[in-house]
A and B are shown apart, each in its own frame.
Chain A
Amino acid sequence: MIGPNDPTQDRLTQERQAPSRPTSSNEDARASRVHAVLDEIVHDPGLQGCVVAHRVLPAEDAKYAPIPDGLDPRLTPALAERGIEQLYTHQRAAYDHVAARKHTVVVTPTASGKTLCYNLPVLDALLNDPGARALYLFPTKALSRDQSAELTALMQATTQKSPAEMGVALGAAVYDGDTPPSERRVVRDRAHVVLSNPDMLHSAILPHHARWMRLFENLKYVVIDELHTYRGVFGSHLANVLRRLRRVCRFHGSDPIFICSSATIANAKDFAERLLELPVEVVEENGAPLGERHFLMINPPITNHALGLRASYLGVARRVASKFLKSMVHTIVFCGSRTTTEVMTKYLKDLFRPRVDRVPRIVGYRGGYLPRERRSIETGLRDGSILGVVSTNALELGIDIGALDACVIAGYPGTVASTRQQAGRAGRRQGASAGVLILRSHPLDQYLADHPEFLLEASPESAQINPDNLQILVSHLKCAAFELPIEDEETFGTSIDSHEDQEGLLGYLEEHGVVRHTGGRWHWSADSYPATDISLRSVTSTNFVVVDTTKNQNDVIAEVDYSWAFTTLYEGAIYMLQSEQYHVDKLDWDRRKAFVRKVESEYYTDAMSYAKVKVLQILRERASARPIPAAGAQYGEVEVIRKAIGYKKIKFYTQENLGWGDILLPEDIYHTQSSWITIPEPVIEALGVPARVPQSDLIDALHGLSNLLHGLASLLLMCDGRDMGVVIGDQRQEWFLQPSMPGQPGEKPPERFEPTIFLYDQYSGGIGLAEALHPLFPELLEGARERLLSCACPSGCPSCVGPELEVGTRAKGLALELVGLLLAEAPATVGSS
């Protein structure tokens, strides 16, 4: 079910958990505005037949449990002051597990008062033992600030409401990069609860754990909020940071209980146990009330039947968002990329442009904005002065942005969990709310249009991590040795294949002069601080700053991380910020600075890049139980070389291509894991290359097939499409298909070659997707055949192999033949091709 995840109501201070409070007329008015707009959408002639699903989830009543008898008496009045006379069932269940010293994961929607699930047991324990300490970890700095304010208020309430002699002044403090040096010492020694993030724990706290002795000697609880965000590389890193945390705790003689909260994911227990490497209790039943929730899926109308082209999803998203905004419904619009976010912000602002009086505020929000600006947007959303916000998935997390009534999602975000998180941004405990998903022409989105139940009923994705990824493991082994010498008999983590492996890794590090084995321990033995070389979130940690040179001010207006710089900050790019356009005049690659100038541009830019892979080592040769009869599928470690080559200038609104430009940037090189399928020469011959099928048609077919396989792979693995890359090359990795710039035809493949489609993890080191995909190749090919047969288009559309203009007229038919040959059956035929 799609749950309403209004974050404000997660905040104790925002709304009282009073049972059956009468609905105010204000609530009625908001609900009726939402109903009116939904009615308008359903009856919009322009969207006739486009609403492929409309699900209404009825309001749900609250389920309560009494406040535990043993709770510290100072907490009861503090809770009562917040209107809490009893707990929701899940809050009580979490309290009981923690009281029984069990590691606990609370999996409920964001609107459910999840914060209290950990604040209650932690404060209870701290009041009983003021020497005790707790560490809270949040994925972002903004969330720690949010939570610190709330926790402090609750702590103060416990002090005020108790007689002076009982009063314990508990303190909570944020420790992150923004904490002034003068305050750090106080936080280290005095704060009962330290709120921080995994990056800070990794780079500043653990490597200096002796200074944090007071915390680590007395650490009773570790709270990890938004656990579901730690999937992939970030999660694999976090699992290792937690291994290090537990080593340091053992050294200082503490053994903390972990309390985690998570949005709904399929494998909460497994995931948490993999991440923590501890047995956990899971609390899943939500006791909080929910208002009536509508969820619509809209497939844009077909505008060109011959080509299978649909109206732009962005256009439809704009149309739907406008309806909400014009009716003064507080709305959030999610876009898939930074560029579309900015383009959409401009469109929606333009909507109100002719009006000069009382223009409703519409803003953009994404990573790269400066913290000050983000704070002011968050405040504007909470106090209602901002009517609409257009965001990337940056607002998917539980940042407190207040009660929104509608959510428009432009394009399937790639995962069921993300869709639910985003839709949940609209929805409150009372009154109606609406979430509208606008589908794109991608195979994945179109699959959902055919099968809305997949999204509505399927369980959300499993979160995957691989803490023993070699690169990540070795990085953290270095940090661990820095923090405390590693004893011979010690095992770092629980899942290292064998002890000899660990010894081998440390031995390798010793050979390179990083550690020293002596007296039965491995000592850190280098003049460096290993944590600074390792970023938990991406390969490189150096951000680019964007400097506005308009009027010679030289203001830093944004920060862009390394991988984004490739596709957004090249010279000639139009960089968009709050829908203002800036021309990138100069990119100083070495100093990580882009100099931009404000312009009024009629176009935006879109970068084109290509990737090549080089196989470093084959780790697995054949796909498990069900081999693919006529193809080789392999899995191994590869080097990916990515390069941006040029960009297109695209006119606003018409999407017309106005021209091209070159991008002169160095290559981005990283190591990762890939699974690939090679089409052997006999199959190519059987297809009739080159006599019946010219090589260029074969390449079109491969291009189409790779589009399809990529989309289906992310569905099969239940991962975000952007987590995986795809590239077509020859088996010997001498030639790769590249996008070509006009006038510069791409390099031709050798006359005879064995085409290979590489699917790889788009993260340095890999996160286990390619590995998981390898045994699934037979299912992948069969899924491709099914999609090709069921797609109604005559010769290729964005919903299967891609639009005819991109892949040519024969791609669909040839792709089907190819898949048939690979599965070693008689080639199927497509009637019309």
Chain B
Amino acid sequence: MESKADRIRRVLSDGAAAPLAPAQPRLREVSPSRELERATIDPELRKRLDALGLVAATQVAPPVRHRLPDEEELAPPRHGLKPPVLDFDWIAVPDAGPRDDPTALAELVGAAERTTPHGSFLFVERRFDLSHTHGRIVLRDALDHPVSLKRRERGPCGRTALQAADPVFIDTETSGLAGGTGTVAFLVGAGWVEGEQFVLRQYYMRDYPEEAALLHALDEDIGDRPLVSFNGRSFDWPLLTTRWQMNRAHIGAGGTAPRAHLDLLPSARRLWSSTLHSHSLATLERHVIGLERGADLPGWMIPSAWFDYLRSGWGGTIAHAFRHNEIDVVSMLALFARVGAILEEPAGGVEAHADRVGTAKLLLDLDDAPRARACLEAGVEHANSEDVRPLRRLLGHLCRRDGEWDAALTHWKHVARGSAFDAEAYEQVAKLYEHRLRDFAAALRWTEAALEHLVEGTRLYEAFAHRATRVRGKLARS
């Protein structure tokens, strides 16, 4: 019969296994058996410190980041799509395990010790075939389309787009969410495409002194390759940069070289701006990638899970962080595939809830106005009337920018004809008539129509009244 450890190893190497009952991760009370160099405390001093209640203020704060309830994550259903059944499963780490045994965690997660000139650390490598499916995504799909970079993402070489085969997909698990020099990245996941495989490496420090070795190896592995991350431009990468700087006396400047860096979070916020209320990776997995994580260690518990490991040496909880981190990295590759597909064919049936206005705005950020227009125009053709007002509004601006006055007029008139009064649309129509088409009679008609909707004395009313006076003058002179 297969032993538990064998089963775990098999699951780790296969990447797929028969579903296990999801275990609810929980933190356990553990005896501080691994505390090494204990200091002696004068009893008088202890009494004074106790009386002052000094440490109470620093007790770990209660969790502040709660996951939104599922139903709140999705905007009112309008696409009629339900999250598909998951086709990915992972190991549920057993809620027990050997204590005080440094090999225990290594066994649980299939890790080995890796040695560097600066010491050793715990290292995991897993390889996924590109035919592997993650949610609804086949990993190879990521190779189909490059993803363009915004100006500030391009790095010193001025790369304008990334192919999935170029970058390192990177994610960290840290000892805190506050940042600052007292926060360390104790687990780093980095993945990249190598031939027909996606290689995923995890770098884990079993205690603070292993940090230099971890950073050295990470730097060695990723070199100056470009990066893809999820919120990494503001969190993971600055934090890693800080860690390299803090250790530079031992290991040199390390991975601080400037490079191209695509952060998928801002793109996701654009693409699903109105269709998803939350843009956490877990939400995107559920609704965009089609993946249900099942039991997972929530992000806010990860720091205390590591501190717990430091004190007890017990790997049962922290192993969940390895799984969490691995899914994060693989999901980034899947998300890269989705984003690439949407940006490549924005005019086609936009998939996976993507928001057309948001998609168009992202394309504009990427200096791709033609595709932005195509995306919006396709949306106008396909959807019902109330839906298209935001699309036409953006189209109105774009057409005007391109000097297509008649097209702009058409879009703005459509917006103006909507059920609710829209001052901007009236203003745009009046402006186009007055300044571009020089049809002052029409300009006056639209201005006066707007005035009927407005309350006298408001700033908006005054602006339209001013316009009316001016247009009347022009009309009289023409």
A→B interface (CB under 8 Å): 207-211, 213, 470-471, 474-475, 478, 481-485, 500-501, 503-514, 516-521, 523-530, 532-533, 616-617, 637, 671, 765
Contacts and interface: CB of A to CB of B under 8 A. Distances in A.
Contacts of B242: 208, 210-211
A641 B46 CA distance: 23
A504 B41 contact: yes
Given A210-B245, A507-B38, A516-B208, 12 more contacts: A207-B182, A208-B179, A208-B242, A210-B242, A211-B238, A471-B52, A474-B49, A475-B54, A483-B180, A517-B39, A527-B175, A671-B51
Given A211-B238, A483-B181, A512-B58, A504 B51 contact: no
Given A210-B245, A501-B45, A527 B58 contact: no
Contact of B178 (A470, A518, A521, A529): A529
B57 to A, nearest CB: 5
Interface stretch (B158-166, B302-310, B366-374): B302-310
B300 to A, nearest CB: 8
A501 B42 CA distance: 8
B47 interface: yes
Contacts of A482: 180-182
Interface string B206-217: 011100000000
A616 B51 contact: yes
B435 interface: no
Contact of B42 (A478, A500, A519, A524): A500
A530 B182 CA distance: 9
B41 to A, nearest CB: 4
Contact of A527 (B38, B176, B181): B176
Contacts of B29: none
Contacts of B180: 207-208, 482-483, 529
B38 to A, nearest CB: 7
Nearest to A483: B181
Contacts of B241: 210
B45 A533 contact: no
Contact of A518 (B40, B42, B181, B209): B209
B47 A504 contact: no
A108 B41 CA distance: 46
Contacts of B303: 527
A516 B178 contact: no
A217 to B, nearest CB: 10
A528 B36 contact: no
A524 B209 contact: no
Interface of B: 35-42, 45-49, 51-55, 57-61, 175-182, 207-209, 238, 241-242, 245-246, 303-304, 307, 310-311
Contacts of A516: 207-208, 310
A721 B33 CA distance: 52
Given A519-B208, A527-B304, A470 B182 contact: no
20 contacts: A208-B179, A208-B181, A210-B181, A211-B242, A471-B52, A475-B54, A500-B40, A503-B40, A504-B42, A507-B41, A514-B55, A514-B58, A517-B35, A517-B36, A518-B37, A519-B207, A525-B175, A526-B60, A527-B175, A765-B52
A210 B179 CA distance: 11
Nearest to B50: A508
A671 B53 contact: yes
Closest 5 CB pairs of A and B: A507-B39, A482-B182, A527-B303, A529-B178, A524-B182
A481 B208 CA distance: 13
Contacts of A530: 58, 182
Contact of A474 (B40, B42, B46, B54): B54
B182 A529 contact: yes
Nearest to A248: B181
Nearest to A207: B180
Given A470-B49, A501-B42, A528 B181 contact: no
A517 B38 CA distance: 7
A208 B180 CA distance: 5
Given A209-B181, A210-B246, A527-B177, A509 B55 contact: yes
A189 B245 CA distance: 15
Contacts, number: 136
B60 to A, nearest CB: 6
B175 A508 contact: no
A481 B53 CA distance: 19
A507 B40 contact: yes
B58 A508 contact: no
Contacts of B209: 518-519
B51 A526 contact: no
A482 B179 CA distance: 10
B208 A504 contact: no
Nearest to A471: B52
A518 B41 contact: no
B251 to A, nearest CB: 14
A508 B311 CA distance: 15
Nearest to B207: A518
Contacts of A505: 45, 49
A530 B42 CA distance: 24
Contacts of B52: 470-471, 474, 637, 671, 765
Contacts of A765: 52
A427 to B, nearest CB: 45
Contacts of B207: 516, 518-519
A504 B39 contact: yes
B37 A517 contact: yes
A507 B181 CA distance: 21
Nearest to A671: B52
Contacts of A514: 55, 58
Contacts of B179: 208, 529
Nearest to B311: A513
A210 B241 CA distance: 9
B128 to A, nearest CB: 31
Contacts of A483: 180-182
A478 B56 CA distance: 13
A351 B178 CA distance: 54
B121 to A, nearest CB: 14
B60 A528 contact: yes
Nearest to A531: B180
A504 B60 CA distance: 22
Contacts of A532: 178
B144 to A, nearest CB: 36
Contacts of B45: 501, 504-505, 508
Contacts of B246: 210, 484
A474 B50 CA distance: 12
A447 B229 CA distance: 71
Given A470-B48, A474-B49, A481 B55 contact: no
Contacts of A501: 42, 45
A311 to B, nearest CB: 46
Nearest to A208: B180
Contacts of A500: 40, 42
Contacts of B176: 526-529
Contacts of A509: 55
B56 to A, nearest CB: 9
Nearest to B53: A671
Contacts of A475: 54
Contacts of B61: 527-528
Contacts of A519: 207-209
B55 A512 contact: yes
Given A209-B181, A210-B181, A526-B176, A504 B40 contact: yes
Contacts of A671: 51-53
A207 B181 contact: yes
A617 B51 contact: yes
Nearest to A252: B245
Contacts of B60: 513, 526-528
Given A518-B209, A521-B208, A527-B176, A481 B51 contact: no
A499 B59 CA distance: 26
Contacts of A209: 181
Nearest to A480: B182
Contacts of A517: 35-39
